[in-house]
Amino acid sequence: MKNVIKLTTVIALFIATTINAANVKLGLTPNAAKTLTFSLNNIKQETTIKLIDAEGNMIYTEGITAKEAYIKRFDLGKLEKGNFYLEVENELRVITYDLELGDTDVVIKKRKEKSKPVFREKGSIVFLNLLNLEKKTIRIKVVDSLDRVVFEETVKDEAIVEKVFNFEDAFEDKYTLIVSDNKETYYKNISIK
């Protein structure tokens, strides 16, 4: 069992991912049972860190703004054994680590990454970009303030979804751009005056 824990520790210490030019590392802390070390370098945009239990209860949350480096040590020794999730989110993506807390150890089971749509406004034009590597079916809809559908499209089998919405000739109103797949929905509010 000690060899498995040591091997898991060594492997986990080398897990590194990227979240919009920020270097994210999550690893087990050597010689410290049930302890995780999380580090984030070169943070360019607001990032939120959450520790969530299997029932969806928030155990810890923190917002981080632009910094060169951030390190946080999570001592999970007082938590009951079970499954937990460490979620790192910024405006472009969400990275989720599945954690299994045992009697004396923590195992990093899986890492999942989801891209979020990027909305960029230039005057009355809105650009939508979404990295869709799983090629999920994406539904795009624009509704006005009375929930009337102004635009609707379904995109299938596209790894990169790019759309431009021109509101130059639109009536004065508040519009909502809705982007969804089967699991997640994202909104962008646009006000035309």
3-class secondary structure per residue, 120-180:
EEECCEEEEEEECCCCCCEEEEEECCCCCEEEEEEECCCCEEEEEEECCCCCCEEEEEEEE
Rounded to whole angstroms, the Cα distance separating 12 from 167 reads: 48
**Do residues 125 and 165 both lie within one domain?**
yes
Number of structural domains the chain divides into? 2
Residues 53 and 79 in one domain: yes
Domain match, 13 and 81 both: yes
Q: Looking at the structure, tell me whether residues 7 and 91 fall in a common domain.
A: yes
Residue finishing a domain among 72, 88, 114:
114
Query: In which domain, by residue range, is 94 found?
Result: 2-114
Query: Are 126 and 107 members of one domain?
Result: no
Dihedral of the CA atoms 129, 134, 135, 141 (nearest 10)?
A: -50
Same structural domain, 157 and 107: no
The pLDDT of residue 72 is 86
Is there a single domain that holds both residue 73 and residue 33?
yes
Enumerate the β-bridge partners of residue 156: none
Residue with tokens 């472009």: 92
Q: Does residue 25 surpass a pLDDT of 80?
A: no
Give the domain-ending residue among 114, 134, 167: 114
Report pLDDT digits (tens) over 108-142.
Answer: 899 888 888 999 999 999 999 999 888 999 999 99
The CATH number for 69's domain is 2.60.40.3080
Quote the pTM value: 0.67
- Looking at the fold, whether 134 and 50 belong to one and the same domain comes out as no
State the number of CA atoms in the 13 A half-sphere of 53 facing the CB: 9
Of 68, 88, 114, the one marking the end of a domain is: 114
Q: Are residues 172 and 109 in the same domain?
A: no
pLDDT band at 32 (very low <50, low <70, confident <90, very high): low
Same domain, yes or no: 25 and 105: yes
- Same domain for 99 and 171, yes or no, is no
pLDDT in tens, 120-129: 999 999 999 9
DSSP letter, residue 39: E
Same domain, 105 and 140: no
